[in-house]
Amino acid sequence: MRLVKLIANLGYGSRKDIQKAIKNGWVTDRDGTALKADSPTAHEDILFDDEPLDPAPGMVLLLNKPLGYTCSTKDQGRLVYDLLPDRFRMRKPVLSTIGRLDKETSGALLFTDDGTFLHKVISPKSEVPKVYEVTLDRPMTGTEAEIFSSGEMMLEGETKPLKPAQLDVIGKSRARVILNEGRYHQVRRMFAAVGNHVTELARIQIGGLTLGGLAEGDWRLLDESGKASIFDVQTSE
């Protein structure tokens, strides 16, 4: 791929912008030699304004989503994309969230520009578990774990029972829930169905991938090991 198209597709600017950057000597190799539009240089050896280029298509990143942000590119108010570099919105292929967290849910949120990878993560065949920590309005009754794990629980307005879900009590009104599917507002609706109300909800793990100390509002790129850990069905205690 020509240098201009490569850098433009990474979101650094229009092709005209990149042509100007090359002309001004802002695009170099790691030795500081200015590159030309037809310079045959490996992606990892290209610097833009003295910084390495963002990863090529196939990028996957993990964000620790704060409360109050919407998983959208078009809604009003604060968007999860506001927490990422502006150029990430301009990437081609587009950078998309892998699933969603609602505005009032925090925690682990994945992004990728690899459609095949995205569909692998969300496919029911992959059975990637998601782990949530929940704070409730009232103490639990003690029957919730059995109901959630039964495989017979029905949500209002639906005709298919939920897959068995694991509930671990970590306090009178706090629990950890592990899901193997992702229906609309599922955790909130499950507790509503047993007469309780979720006041705080955070996703802390996707497959074997944890936040690993990632601060709220921060993000990190995943290497091949990180990507593979998503499909590790063992969830941490």
Known catalytic residues are: 102
Contact 101, 89 (CB under 8 A): no
> Rounded to an integer, what distance in angstroms lies between the CA atom of residue 84 and that of residue 147?
40
With H, G, I as helix, E, B as strand and everything else as coil, classify residue 45. Answer: helix
Residue 21 φ then ψ, to 5°: -65, -40
Contact 206, 180 (CB under 8 A): no
Contact 97, 71 (CB under 8 A): yes
> Rounded to an integer, what distance in angstroms lies between the CA atom of residue 73 and that of residue 68?
14
Beta bridge partners of 136: 198
Burial category of 135 from C-beta neighbours within 10 Å (exposed 0-12, middle 13-18, buried 19 and up): middle
> Rounded to an integer, what distance in angstroms lies between the CA atom of residue 148 and that of residue 65?
26
> Rounded to an integer, what distance in angstroms lies between the CA atom of residue 67 and that of residue 65?
7
The first and second tokens of residue 129, run together, are 């578990």
Among residues 195, 192, 175, 172, which one has the least CA distance to residue 183?
192
